[in-house]
Amino acid sequence: MFHREAVPEYGILLIIDVQNDFCEGGSIARKGGRKIVPIINDLMKQDRIHLVVATQDWHPKNHISFASSHMDGERVGTEPLQGEIAPFKRALVRSPNTVSYAPGTGKVDKMLWPDHCVAGSIGSGFYYQQSGDLWLDYKNIDLIYRKGTDSELDAYDVLWDEIGRPSALHFLFESMIRNMDNDLAFYIVGIATDGCVAYTADRLVQLISSVKEQHEPKVCMERGCFGDPKASLDKKVTVKVVSNACVGTSEEEHQNALERLKTTSIEVVEHIIPFPHNCGRAAELRKDGLTEAEITYIIEEGK
């Protein structure tokens, strides 16, 4: 539950789309998706995390992003996509009558995907391994937000849809940034680093900047603000992407996205789960003065 706790820094863990269809065995599987699940589960239990929010793609069967929705429609262009979705093309598709994506043309350049995360399907569920020994620990999730529910619209970030309508999470986070006395830290994890994770991180920075700009004393005097604008100016709000709790469309795209994020105000961090102290190999490496990150790498790589 959402608690306004008296802590110096209030941590919000934002878990992006850790769903069956995006992990091994899914329709748009990202290699290594299930490897991040134990790290995310451990993060949820950390004292610095006070609110856990998880998102899900939750698409209707005829969603506009599905290639199957355009099999009989106009398709222009033949640029091939790379990797696991190679059979699909980047295509110009007719936009719906209710939305003008490109005024005067009725067309928009969209990325088409295999059907995925259809609402209520197994693929749309939080990740679980069929053997039953690995799953996203949903019991520690405080709030679930489902995006992409409009058949006519994509939603790559969790704060706005593609025509600029703010989401429920937009209003929640805006209120927290504006009204809570604590410093705030947003920790972002999930799938995919170069997709919804990066989009969301960028949008959070945009939201933070917007709120702070609105609370500049001069702006407050002009528009009228509730509360003390100085409190908002003094508050520290950070956005952190946990690199080893994210997975990209490929390792190269994962690294490229992290490098780009490092050039912004977004922090790129790691969360290391220490091996138990009774693990013989780990104990030997600790004696040599290695860090937990180094120990994790050595043991997982079998060196």
Render 124-143 in DSSP notation, one character per residue. GSBPB-TTSS-B--GGG--E
User: Tell me: the pLDDT tens digits for 27-76?
Assistant: 999 999 998 998 999 999 999 999 999 999 999 998 888 877 766 544 33
Catalytic residue flag (residue 288)? no
pLDDT in the model for residue 93: 40
Average pLDDT across the chain, whole number = 78
Spatial separation of the C-alpha atoms in residues 269 and 219, rounded to whole Å: 34
Q: Encode 32-42: b = buried (16+ Cβ within 10 Å), e = exposed.
A: bbbebbebbbe
Catalytic residue flag (residue 17)? yes
Catalytic residue flag (residue 196)? yes
**Domain 9-63+119-271 classified CATH 3.40.50.850?**
yes
Sign of the torsion formed by the C-alpha atoms of 271, 187, 250 and 121: positive
Q: Which entry of 23, 115, 147, 194 is annotated as an active-site residue?
A: 147
Could you give the C-alpha distances from 269 to 137, 187, 241, 258, 261, in angstroms and in order? 22, 9, 6, 10, 11
The two three-digit tokens of residue 161, written as one number: 């849809």
The model's pTM: 0.78
Q: Which entry of 17, 21, 150, 157 is annotated as an active-site residue?
A: 17
User: Tell me: the pLDDT tens digits for 242-288?
Assistant: 999 999 999 999 999 999 999 999 999 998 776 565 467 777 777 77
- Per-domain boundaries in the chain: 9-63+119-271, 67-112
Q: Which entry of 23, 117, 196, 246 is annotated as an active-site residue?
A: 196
Residues 6+ apart with CB under 8 A from 198: 241, 257, 260, 261
